[in-house]
Structure 1
């Protein structure tokens, strides 16, 4: 038996601001809800003269939060925008895996150094995200990531959030469910430079993991305090920016780095990874499949989105994981990615080819036409603006008239034929930065008899 994997784009949405995170709601009854967060660096518009010196207004980091409703039976345009909210620039967001005070809850971290909670409500047949509470992680820092303690899909009391920031700190927060408020339980210096990512061990939420721009992967045990880590790994050779615990297989951890490698770990043996897979792009986000323990989705910055099969690596410690499929229809840095838990019976039953539909913010042109126009501008001179400490986000590519230029990448579907799984259809959402687009796409895996 061989496995044929194919990707098909269902919809492209122009998010207007640079898109860097997207998340399907994992709470039962709400799987059709998708959120997308954006980050836009606004240049100074005016200068002030103080004595003999000219000073410029600081750059402003703007953001917008989108909420979409998905109808998988609407094959051509499955997503409908139901809400957009202007906010500070969003760097990461995650849904709590269980209801909080009987409602889905979205955690958001932003460029003002805040962790915010928003409640999903359904009033008058309209879904809305409503701000509930927030906490400031400290002055002059950007909140970079967060994770919930509920990754096994079970209610843990009390609910906790771990967050990381641009000063290299980690912050452990606790949610007061009755009052729906956030308290900082602990805050400590974990890394030199940016702490790009922090995550829970879902099987033991007293254990935390963090990765930083100092190239270190660290583990922390809250029972022994925050003064020292329980392990430090320097196996990654560049900044560690993605970590996720496997919610279906205890002791399995995936990490990714700017060094373009995904490492698969058994946390009981942190001296050597189970597998090392080179994906030819910085690994900004990793997402284990919500029901299949061996499928791993990776946002690989300059090399699109990759789906890995980790089954043989987990069971037999192979040197690298199989790359099943690549989705390279984005024209810029691949940042946000997530699997949907929606049932795709309707999608699997049809053989219709999808359209490249769009929901654009302005004008009548389709998003695909806009993308083509931008690609045609690539021959023009580019101006690059670079601002520390978040170079990954504060790089601006412009043409001579100030328009954003996406990076060109190949856009061909690929077919791979590695090892055995069931024939299924999966729904995914991914987003990319400078071309500011959100894609909804399907991934089909079909078992076939080998040709004779």
Structure 2
């Protein structure tokens, strides 16, 4: 049964495990879902990009494209019709969403050996560069136009689960690893990271969130259920912590106002929840209801501002859901 205030609206089951979903920027009634399927016999990883038409708040599948397994994707801030997709085989693909019910493949960039998984990516604010985190612990930045690697750091002992440009200073970027370390890099200093936070997190760092309204503050999530807020000027001393009851795989910014920052938390073992962070990052309000219809690892989520429609997806049960939290309306 859904928590009070949580309203499940529609659901569909993908053929393969679903691990990332985002609404299109140019056609915001289209939801894009990425999948990841490991063939146990061949050990090959396969993926699909699936488009859903969510008009009438339903999930109507309108397009499917086969590709290598997908672990993350983001829309370009330079050209919102461009989708950059991180694959399991050391490369990134670019697609254009020019027509409502179709993605068109543009090109690919090979940046690592085919045995290396591209775990996460993020665009710079100007849309000209990408940062990428890899399963071998490395973090890269690439020039999108040329495909050339601009910087490469190898600071994590294990998987680098997430990478994220600072929205306070785009010269800086953060990465989180399975070694429970949060790193910060300055692209003007390519030899090493500029600081490491080895104290805050007790398990793998899997999400980092920075936005212009946050200023120097960031939010992070770890595999072991905890979310933290940090002042990047005083690393190692979190401002506040919250146990959310499920690994904090993704933190998606919804909006900010004078009273709080509203964030969608994608909580792996628990489902998803709308969170509110105090404007000074001194507290995390996790009192809203949990959307708990997912029966396995919840890995993807997004929110549509115009009608408060949340989309989330989960892995082993291959499920995509649309839902609302009526207690947290859009603004």
- What is the aligned partner in structure 2 of residue 40 from structure 1? 37
Q: 1:247 to 1:438 in 2, by over 3 A?
A: farther
Alignment RMSD (CA, Å):
2.0
Q: Deviations over 1:80-135 (max 9, x none)?
A: 32210111111111112342xxx51111111111111111112xxx4321111221
Q: 1:219 to 1:159 in 2, by over 3 A?
A: same
Preserved contact between residue 335 and residue 433 of structure 1 (Cα < 8 Å): yes
Whole-angstrom CA distance in 2 between matches of 1:267 and 1:326: 30
Q: 1:8 to 1:173 in 2, by over 3 A?
A: same
- What is the aligned partner in structure 2 of residue 20 from structure 1? 19
- What is the aligned partner in structure 1 of residue 245 from structure 2? 280
- What is the aligned partner in structure 2 of residue 299 from structure 1? 266
Preserved contact between residue 162 and residue 206 of structure 2 (Cα < 8 Å): yes
How far the C-alpha of 1:163 sits from its partner, in A, is 0.6
- Consecutive unaligned residues in structure 2, runs of 5 or more: none
Indicate yes or no: 2:214 matched with 1:234.
Answer: no
Q: Which structure features the higher share of strand residues?
A: 2
- The higher relative CO (CA closer than 8 Å, separation ≥ 6) is in 1
- What is the aligned partner in structure 1 of residue 324 from structure 2? 442
Whole-angstrom CA distance in 2 between matches of 1:5 and 1:247: 32
- What is the aligned partner in structure 2 of residue 327 from structure 1? 291
- What is the aligned partner in structure 2 of residue 172 from structure 1? 141
Q: 1:128 to 1:183 in 2, by over 3 A?
A: farther
Preserved contact between residue 160 and residue 175 of structure 2 (Cα < 8 Å): yes
Counterpart of 1:145 (choices 104, 111, 120) is 120
TM-score, normalization: structure 1?
Answer: 0.68
Q: Deviations over 1:20-72 (max 9, x none)?
A: 110112x3x4322211001111111xxxxxxxxxxxxx41111111112321x
- What is the aligned partner in structure 2 of residue 53 from structure 1? none
Q: Deviations over 1:327-360 (max 9, x none)?
A: 111111111111113x22xxxxxxxxxxxxxxxx
Q: Which has the larger radius of gyration?
A: 1
TM-score, normalization: structure 2?
Answer: 0.92
Give the paired residue count: 324
How far the C-alpha of 1:137 sits from its partner, in A, is 2.2
Which aligned segments of 4 or more residues in structure 1 are displaced greater than 6 angstroms? none
Residue pairs, 1:160-199, within 5 angstroms? 160-176=129-145, 182-199=147-164
The DSSP-based 3-state class of the residue aligned with 1:23 is: strand
Preserved contact between residue 152 and residue 190 of structure 2 (Cα < 8 Å): no
- What is the aligned partner in structure 2 of residue 133 from structure 1? 107
- What is the aligned partner in structure 1 of residue 87 from structure 2? 110
- Consecutive unaligned residues in structure 1, runs of 5 or more: 45-57, 151-155, 345-425, 448-452
